[in-house]
Structure 1
Amino acid sequence: MTEISVQGNMHYVDGQALHALLQEEVKGAFFDLDLNSIQKMVEANPWVERVDIHRIWPDRLVVNVDEELPVARWGDKQLVNSVGRIFTPQQAQLDELAGLPRLYGPDDQVQEAMRYFSTLSQQLRPLQMKISDLILEKRGAWTVDVIVADQPLRILLGREDLRERLYRFSTIYTAALKDRISQIEQIDVRHTNGVAVRWKQPAST
């Protein structure tokens, strides 16, 4: 009988359940085992990013599992890793990761969204802004929701001259808007010069 060893640093993959599944499904003579079939079985778990399987004489099968590392949520029902691969975990696991930033956009633009998310995160860090939502519209325009000084803020970036627009936003925000952030709902930087500010409505008394 083949001895099976499941290895890897796993948090969301249930190693014991995977081991039990393999014990149940792996049949036949040791050197007749179909490793490709076993690999596909393990990779059916959405949390498995990569699996390496090899035989060790005389009767041991070693299964090394690399688990997905989610970077953000993709829409409301999925997750995405650092290279832009989308995967769909169970709802309870999604709920556990509710604090991750959320990215929205067409599925065929997920890698572009991940690249800009990484770039924008670095650009906003000096302003002490953390991205909560990043939206890529079908026509290519970007909208980003951030948290700054415990306040939500929406920034409309559009689709052109993103580097120049973000520089202009950073300059104006630092010089004139930073101390009034609690009063601001949205900043639109899609204009040729300056920005447009939408102020929060005062609470009714």
Structure 2
Amino acid sequence: MIFSDPRFINRVAGFLATLGVLIVLGALAYRAMHMPMFNITRIVLEPKRGDVLSYVSPASIQSTLDGRVQGNFFSLDLLEVQGILSTSPWVRHVDITRLWPNGLLLRIEEHEPFALWNNEALINTWGEKYLANRGEVDSIDSLPQFFGPDGSEHLVVQRYAELVRWLSPINLRVKELGLNDRYSWRVLLDNNITLTMGRDPGAEIANPYDGGGAMSFAATIERFVRAWPALLKRIEGRPVERIDLRYTKGFAITFADSTNSDQSDMP
């Protein structure tokens, strides 16, 4: 019989012995991998760019992770941790590396505030909207204020860059830039003059309104910039409240000391 064959019995015995050794080694490895020494107790933060992190701190990272992750050095799901950390207010992106035997290295790219967005959010230097505590921004008074419908952030940043390029030669800066639901623009300059512009036919977002008759954004601003030096001489120091650029030729001026508007036909 097969069970009386010494070679078969030896093979079975060898297999069982090997299996027993593997089970013991597996149990020992499992126990070793779950020793307290491998619990994550150290988190090192490094900036992906620059020398320091301006907004992200160990305390804010710990607050984000508390109660939301499970595992130790061996079992921790780094992709899960990365997703959780991406919800931290100032974290734009994070790369995670394990540090033997109980640590994590977080290389963090922070949101860099570029502008204020509507009433609660900010825009970073990538033109992305994010939510964070505005009170943590040291130079918040120097940031421009943007307004616009959801999804229009990149367009507003693009138009702001165009305005900066056109207005710099005449020493004007943008304090506020707003895009309304009909895709018309309002610009508040640092001299407190408001520029009212028509619909933007070059908007990159879907415009449900007929763009017929809408003037190019760049052409409208260029017309204002070219007329500005002569306009300064013409108004003779009177404070201007608003300039309406929605005309195909010229524009209308509202003075701060008058309810009447003057229309200029300057090109």
Bin the TM-score by the shorter chain: 0.7 to 0.9
How many residues are matched? 199
Which residues of structure 2 form unaligned runs of 5+? 1-37, 200-214, 259-267
> How far apart, CA to CA, are the structure 1 residues paired with 2:56 and 2:175?
27
Residues 200 and 186 from structure 1, CA distance in 2 versus in 1: closer, same or farther, beyond 3 angstroms? same
Which stretch of the first structure deviates more once superposed, 85-94 or 122-131?
85-94
| More strand by percentage | 1
For 1:6, the equivalent position in structure 2 comes to 45
> How far apart, CA to CA, are the structure 2 residues paired with 1:181 and 1:132?
21
The TM-score, its normalising length taken from structure 1, stands at: 0.85
8 Å CA contact retained: 1:75, 1:103: yes
> How far apart, CA to CA, are the structure 2 residues paired with 1:137 and 1:65?
35
2:240 alignment partner, one of 184, 188, 198: 184
1:119 alignment partner, one of 151, 162, 165: 162
Partner AA of 1:5 in structure 2: V
8 Å CA contact retained: 1:4, 1:22: no
Instruction: State the Cα distance separating 1:63 from its structure 2 match.
Output: 0.8
Partner AA of 1:188 in structure 2: D
Q: Which fold has the larger relative contact order, with Cα–Cα distance below 8 Å and residues 6 or more apart in sequence?
A: 1
What's the RMSD between the two structures over aligned residues? 2.5
Which residues of structure 1 form unaligned runs of 5+? none
Which stretch of the first structure deviates more once superposed, 66-75 or 37-46?
37-46
Partner AA of 2:195 in structure 1: I
Instruction: State the Cα distance separating 1:27 from its structure 2 match.
Output: 5.1
Instruction: State the Cα distance separating 1:128 from its structure 2 match.
Output: 0.9
Residues 55 and 156 from structure 1, CA distance in 2 versus in 1: closer, same or farther, beyond 3 angstroms? same
Which stretch of the first structure deviates more once superposed, 156-165 or 117-126?
156-165
Q: Specify the structure having the higher radius of gyration (Cα).
A: 2
Instruction: State the Cα distance separating 1:20 from its structure 2 match.
Output: 7.2
Partner AA of 1:168 in structure 2: R
> How far apart, CA to CA, are the structure 2 residues paired with 1:189 and 1:17?
47
